[in-house]
């Protein structure tokens, strides 16, 4: 019986590495473990007009090098059928509002959730990680369009803040810190928020969640002090 | 016949000054010119529970010192009536999503717009400036709650990005720049966006708009290179 399989990357870029190369071993192990040969890529977070082919080619380059085929969902006449037939999906970064709106507009929310609940592997990065969580309330993106709701795929029962950033020491001129923004969210919402720094990811295997990567992560809970977790920490408690 | 009177501040804080003190002359001149003695303050952008009294007191301190009375709208049994009877209103900063949602929930959008169209002076800062524009699509805030629409008061026919920030020279680790975010907006929307740096404001007197303050502003138009405007520039062309 297959179970929930998620690889949720904070970002596709990590300083000093080519696009997605820092995640090579994670992606390779994750897809091989699940016997995946071909990945359905969802480029809907891209805001640039007519950019889906270009974005898919950008993603296909490293995936092909890792040994996997990639097809863009926009090439299929019926995107729901494409999801229903996919071996695995990868949703890439861009604008989270546009991505979530597109998933609702194309009626892909339920099909993706249903496939993932039944074991189809899901890789997300940045906006693709945001939409895998409870809601996009903790995205960093500019709200360039209005989705019907901020509730998202809910593949996990908490939120993630990707590209989590620490305040710059002594800086008084860069506006609110990320922690202050997440604190505003917790003034009116009790959902846990995992701040995933670039270069890190959350690997979910059924009911086990593990922090992987090059940096620690910061967990924000309502009315509690934030807590740091080092790479390889067991984060399964967040799933229950 | 009274006409549109707006003072739209990028921020309430400016480095090296106490709260709202950098804007003392602008606020004083603006209110005196319009014969205002008392200002209705709208604290709904505050995310902190039970903070409206505290926030109103924080605003009243400098306003009192400048010679003006301040009342918080939350003290009135009927907020619509409070707007209808106000000499002027000030909407302060906080979270733009929560502010806009509150304005819709309390059915204040039409009463405020109607009073401003008939000459009631309006001061906005940060989130209060965001909601005075066409839409909140270019706010910097985290989307902690969902308003019924992103369309806002539309007191002017363009958008403002308050707290506009220039990229840090050579920085590769701080995520998307503000200009990149506004560019994403312009991939799917043609509304002009004025990037107002902290310490600056837009003063609107009927059909005349003037950039005031300590810093230049950056105007973003769809499919055009951004353009810098120095303090005291006539920005009236944006109104037509
Ligand atoms: Ca983004
Ligand atoms: Ca804010």
In this predicted model, what pLDDT tens digit does every residue of A158-192 receive, in sequence order?
999 999 999 877 666 567 899 999 999 999 999 99
Examine the residue annotation and report whether B230 is marked as an active-site residue of this protein: no
Which of 13-32 (B) contact A at CB < 8 A?
15
User: What value does the mean pLDDT take over residues B226-240?
Assistant: 97
Catalytic residue among B12, B46, B125, B141: B141
Residue B140 pLDDT level (bands cut at 50, 70, 90): very high
Residue B162: pLDDT over 60: yes
With H, G, I as helix, E, B as strand and everything else as coil, classify residue B234: strand
The region of weakest confidence among A21-25, A176-180, B84-88 is A176-180
Q: Could you give the C-alpha distances from A15 to A21, A174, A199, in angstroms and in order?
A: 11, 21, 8
Which has more pLDDT, A174 or B185? B185
Residues of B in contact with A133 (CB under 8 A): none
Residues 65-104 of A with CB under 8 A from B: 95, 97-98
What is the distance between the alpha carbons of residues A201 and A216, in angstroms, rounded to a whole number? 10
Q: Does A48 touch chain B (CB under 8 A)?
A: yes
What is the arithmetic mean of pLDDT over A111-130?
98
Are B68 and B89 contacting, i.e. CB atoms less than 8 angstroms apart? no
Active site residue: B10, B11, B102, B126, which one? B126
The rounded distance, in Å, linking the Cα atoms of A64 and A226 is 39
Answer yes or no: A187 catalytic.
Answer: no
| Residue A11 scores a pLDDT above 90 | yes
Band (pLDDT 50/70/90 cuts) for residue B1 is very low
How close B162 comes to chain A (CA, Å)? 10
Residue-wise pLDDT for A32-43, tens only, equals: 999 999 999 999
ipTM topping 0.90? yes
Mean pLDDT of B15-29: 96
So what's the pLDDT on residue B34? 97
- Catalytic annotation present for B110: no
Q: Is the pLDDT of residue A130 over 60?
A: yes
User: What does the mean pLDDT of chain A come to?
Assistant: 96
Give the domains, in start order, of chain B with CATH numbers. Answer: 5-239 (3.40.50.880)
């Amino acid at each position: 019986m297959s179970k929930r399989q998620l690889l949720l990357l904070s970002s596709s870029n990590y300083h000093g590495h080519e696009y997605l190369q820092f995640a090579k071993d994670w992606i390779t192990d994750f897809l091989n473990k699940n016997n995946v040969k071909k990945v359905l890529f969802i480029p809907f977070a891209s805001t640039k007009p007519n950019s889906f082919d270009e974005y898919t080619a950008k993603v296909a380059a490293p995936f092909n090098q890792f040994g996997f085929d990639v097809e863009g969902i926009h090439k299929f006449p019926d995107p729901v059928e494409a999801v229903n037939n996919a071996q695995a999906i990868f949703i890439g970064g861009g604008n989270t509002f546009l991505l979530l709106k597109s998933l609702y507009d194309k009626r892909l929310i339920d099909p993706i959730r249903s496939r993932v609940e039944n074991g189809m592997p899901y890789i997300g990065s940045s906006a693709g990680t945001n939409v895998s969580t409870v809601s996009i309330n903790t995205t960093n993106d500019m709200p360039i369009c209005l989705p019907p709701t901020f509730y998202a795929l809910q593949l996990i029962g908490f939120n993630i803040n990707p590209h989590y950033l620490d305040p710059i020491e002594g800086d008084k001129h860069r506006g609110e810190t990320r922690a202050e923004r997440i604190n505003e969210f917790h003034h009116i919402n009790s959902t846990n928020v995992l701040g995933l720094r670039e270069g890190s990811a959350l690997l979910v295997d059924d009911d086990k969640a593990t922090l992987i990567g090059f940096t620690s992560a910061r967990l924000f809970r309502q009315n509690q002090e934030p807590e740091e977790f080092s790479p390889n920490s067991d984060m399964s408690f967040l799933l229950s």
